[in-house]
Structure 1
């Protein structure tokens, strides 16, 4: 006899199968509108592990800065320069490409009848990222020459190039980890990457100390990037073990040749996603590059400020990842009202947590720099810049969170245009004028970044409040149906090809 679960599964499958009388686009269902209280609870409890993930992920870089900062200002500045180079040339591109998974995986998980479509999207992302890694590796290997061509100090360029060559060993693992993390988050599995990093992050601090200062290794400067590379592979291995032995394999149908087809629909989301992420990341890293021309003290202070701002940004970014998947899942389920309420709750979270970050910067301003260096000049410069960092925290949070909602809708192209205008039409010329013409030093850099964030927040919020959620449901349903049709047709043709 069949169990109640079997009967329910059959009934669900039959109801999901289209017939001649089925509507081309299903109407938004009302049986789960997602009440305000339920959306609040869901977002709160699911954003916390994601925030933890990104905090721990950032700690991998912090470990190198803490460890090398005590070797000297040159080593600290070189690690900051290498981190900037890695962000511009690799991590921003990988994160931008992975935004397509925020859209495709979250919508497919609830919208597709065959859940392994989520795994196909992951495989396609990994294949594309593998191709992108080839030019990244070439650029990293020649980083010293590139930095010298950009008129960096020879000693800084040499140390930064060495750092990147050793970090290159772990770069493939870090990129793959980002993609697999998105695959799990789309299924509502938010804690797996946190668990992996709870193990890898403390070990990374220990490895950094052991390989840089500890005996018998005492490798000095190269110990930091080598320790980080080992940690990248460890956290990837832990995440794969979680999927293999605990949870997350339901959406994995095995390796498929579909990963090497239909790249264009993926790239139509990935390329705007790259522009969306890179436009912001590159602007901040250009600010660090500009600081390097102001001197070692300014570069070190910029490194500390960026590190702290990146750490606090993990809060709105964690909210954005959770919101992206919640909105994508709701649209895949054809619950328009649920998607709208989830986005509004995320908007409120952005304001609340942005305010908390702002207060934190103001309170810790006098002594925060001492956590990174004992150089009094650097500490004073950090204390001078932190009030500007505090000013834009709400705008930064809104940009991150509303950007996540836009990824859930698959609207990376809109966010990309907003960011390009805010950072490169307005902020970049302003930053150059204030920093080098008006001679405002780091103050000019951070004022221009603040202006860009407020413009970006205004543009993205305007989009959020004008979304037609029923139209988004129809668009998502059409996309998922098309993806399933392609896979179904290819699966039908494969036995015929074998027979022939």
Structure 2
């Protein structure tokens, strides 16, 4: 439930689509997109095919068998749906607003080769867990007691009481044959150390085992998978948000008024610029990935160019609003000095808007190619530099409050430049064929595709701006305390939010493979993990409620207000984590609209009225505002959990297949 500045991006490798196809049949949801997205890409392909400009002479790449006449997705007939786990929800980007509802791509996007390989590895792991493939590592002699206890507790193997573990590991072919009721492939026992079956045989075993409904999973396997999926994301999200933390830490040392002003300016910038830009850019999650998956790699760069120019058109009106924002801010906060400083911060941030827009497009450009780590590398450089720039501008040059805004604006422009350097010198340049006048055409369908994502994110984020303005009505000290609370809860949210992304991916994978029982197990493990993370955050915030504010400010009044409200924020962590994970599971089930409407209802009809009522009418002030948010998250958590526990998972699988068939039909119509 936390806001975040627009400084970061997502996380994935580059090969051609036909290589991905060779890895195994893909779910049809990967090979199709919406009619609107089809329209955009088909127009671009048609225009480029008649374009005599040299920039497109070699598109698609010469090392591929793709050509302009082949169908958009590289195959002539819709494939028979397989039980492949190669299904990966798109639209996740480091730096998106940290709300309980993560912004989603409007439509599914095709996989990149790395995702396909990861899915194959996941299938292989489940086959080994069920003793349908030989183990990766040979057991060594007699195991010690500790080793046996460890294996007993943490082993991911599916246990059969009638079989000894050692026997199961050395007779995988016999167990597989018995499970699926087929003739053993080998006449002799399959001994440990013999080569693992080739990829075709592995795929056949997977398909057969899924069809026989004998694939099971364990809580250990699901816990291990969730950790593997979420750990890199947690690091990247925290790295991203450290840029915001650096600015707040610096400003907090200047004074109480400055700390309140930076919170007001940040929330105003988010609601009027950063959130709309991020919302509009979500359509690239579909368009860039679809262009890459179709084999027309040059269109990835074209789509990114087009979105960047579209976003840059927002600079004049936003810049005008920010430059003359002081009268507007003065009308909503009682302290004129706070309004004046916030307006100053916004005027300096105008210079960072071009970088924000370019970075939102750039991170989708690399993400479509599977280069998620490119943004992480950019952050590894930019985040430490942002701390250094805060010190240099604020203290060394003596620019004080204006120096913190300057450091933020410079960092915002540095990030896209670092991405460009990564693409130019390391990898990703194959999708860039230079600047093109084509980027100034075909904007209408892109805008139509982008608007829904922007509206949903904007509607959710507006509540936080309203509560920030409300906090300003209680005085400068409360507004400064609000800045500390928002920063603290946003940082805490960067743990359950990546966990929710991991849960969404895993459940979608299992649902796509019709492994209903395994999907249920994974969902239970994810909810348990959400509880653990929520309790961890609650413990940290409640235990250090008097110490945390002193990190941000030395003002005793502000520290006392923060410590008082931190108790409520600590309780909020339980609901924040569970709401995030629950909505992640709903996304994995294809029911994200349920969570979206539940969140909008809870924010506007529960959180906002309760916050304003307890804050003003009951006189609880800042504690009341956060109590209302906690109540709203409790409601949305209850709604989503009840829905998850009552949902028919078999029906969810059938509906997922229906959506895949619908996508395939749209694809056929587009051809």
- 1:106-149 C-alpha deviation (Å, 9 max, x unpaired): 7x499x44374766665564454334444333322222122123
Q: 2: distance between equivalents of 1:263 and 1:335?
A: 37
Distance 2:586 2:447 in 1: 16
**Aligned pair in 2 of structure 1 residues 158, 444: CA closer, same or farther (>3 Å)?**
same
C-alpha distance in structure 2 between counterparts of 1:14 and 1:400, whole Å: 33
1:322-333 residue pairs with structure 2 within 5 A? 322=502, 330=509
Structure 2 residue aligned with 1:225: 405
**Deviation readout 1:238-275 (Å, 9 max, x if unpaired):** 1222233334456667667488537547745x444334
1:170-210 per-position Cα deviation (integer Å, ceiling 9, x unaligned): 12212332343345446554432222112111111111111
The answer to whether 1:426 aligns with 2:606 is yes
TM alignment of 1:214-363, pairs within 5 A: 214=396, 217-249=397-429, 257=438, 260-261=441-442, 264=445, 267-268=448-449, 270-322=450-502, 330=509, 335=513, 337=515, 340=519, 346-363=526-543
| Aligned twin of 1:52 | 235
Q: State the number of aligned residues.
A: 473
Is 2:359 aligned against 1:177?
Answer: yes
Q: Give per-residue Cα distances to partners, 1:69-110, cap 9 Å, x unaligned.
A: 22221222111211121122122223333444556667x499
Q: Kindly tell me: are residues 147 and 19 of structure 1, through their superposed partners in 2, closer, same or farther at Cα, counting changes over 3 Å? A: closer
In 1, the alpha carbon distance for the partners of 2:504 and 2:326 equals 38
Q: Is residue 2:256 matched to residue 1:76?
A: no
* Residue 12 of structure 2 corresponds to residue 12 of structure 1: no
Partner SS state of residue 170, structure 1: helix
What is the correspondence of 1:118-129 to structure 2 with a 5 Å cutoff?
122-123=304-305, 125-129=307-311
1:213 equivalenced with 2:395 (yes/no): yes
The one of 606, 623, 630 equivalent to 1:450 is 630
Distance 2:325 2:475 in 1: 20
**Post-superposition shift, 1:344?**
6.0
Alignment partner for residue 318 of structure 2, among 111, 118, 136? 136
- 1:26 and 2:81 correspond: yes
Instruction: Give the direction of change, closer, same or farther, for the CA distance of 1:17–1:189 in structure 2 (3 Å limit).
Output: closer
Residues 1:86 and 2:269 aligned together:
yes
Return 453-462 or 378-387, whichever deviates more: 453-462
Give the CA deviation at 1:286.
1.8
**Partner residue of 1:156?**
338
Using the alignment, how far apart are the partners of 1:401 and 1:151 within structure 2?
A: 35
CA RMSD of aligned residues (A): 3.8
Secondary structure of 2:351's counterpart equals coil
Deviation of 1:373 (Å)? 0.8
Aligned to 1:495: none
1:381-396 alignment, distance < 5 Å: 381-396=561-576
- Assess, with a 3 A threshold, how the Cα gap between structure 1 residues 439 and 398 changes in structure 2: closer, same or farther: same
Match of 1:492 in 2: none
42, 62, 67: which is aligned to 2:250?
Answer: 67
Q: What 5-or-longer segments of structure 1 have no aligned partner? A: 490-500
In structure 2, the CA distance between the partners of 1:293 and 1:54, relative to structure 1 (3 Å rule), is same
TM-score (norm 2): 0.62
1:368 aligns with 2:552: no
Answer with 247-256 or 226-235: which moved more: 247-256
Equivalent-residue separation in structure 2 for 1:208 and 1:484 (angstroms):
54
The alpha-carbon deviation at position 378 of structure 1 amounts to 1.2
Kept in 1, the 8 Å contact 2:333–2:339? The answer is no
Residues 420-439 of structure 1 deviation map (CA, whole Å, 9 limit, x = unaligned): 21011122122221111111
Aligned equivalent of 1:197, options 379, 399, 417: 379
Matched, 1:400 2:580: yes
Q: CA deviation at 1:282?
A: 2.3
301 and 337 in structure 1: CA distance in 2 versus 1, 3 angstrom threshold:
same
CA distance in structure 2 between the aligned counterparts of 1:352 and 1:475, rounded to whole angstroms: 34
CA distance in 1, matches of 2:360, 2:221: 28
- From 554, 557, 573, the equivalent of 1:377 is 557
The alpha-carbon distance between structure 1 residues 393 and 61, as it changes in their structure 2 partners (threshold 3 A), is same
Quote the Cα distance in structure 2 between the aligned partners of 1:367 and 1:145: 36
Distance 1:248 1:326 in 2: 27
Change (3 A) 1:120 1:12: farther
Deviates more, 1:353-362 or 1:246-255: 246-255
**Segment drifting more, 203-212 vs 123-132:** 123-132
Distance 1:198 1:14 in 2: 35
Higher Cα Rg, which structure: 2
Distance 1:260 1:345 in 2: 48
Residue in structure 2 matched with residue 498 of structure 1 by the alignment = none
The residue that corresponds to 1:167 in the other structure is 349
CA contact (8 A) 2:74 2:295 kept: no
Cα gap change, 1:14/1:387 in structure 2, threshold over 3 Å: closer, same or farther?
Answer: closer
Q: Does 1:96 align with 2:276?
A: no
Residues 73 and 394 of structure 1: CA distance in aligned 2, closer, same or farther (over 3 Å):
same
Structure with the largest fraction of helix: 1
Separation of aligned partners in 2, 1:388 and 1:274: 30
Shift of residue 318 of structure 1?
A: 2.7
CA contact (8 A) 1:26 1:334 kept: no
Point out where structure 2 has 5 or more consecutive residues left out of the alignment: 1-14, 26-72, 86-118, 127-216
Change (3 A) 1:160 1:94: same
TM-score, with length taken from structure 1: 0.81
Asked if the contact 1:100/1:407 (under 8 Å) is kept, the reply is: no
Mapped contact 1:93–1:274 kept (Cα < 8 A): yes
CA distance in 2, matches of 1:56, 1:11: 35
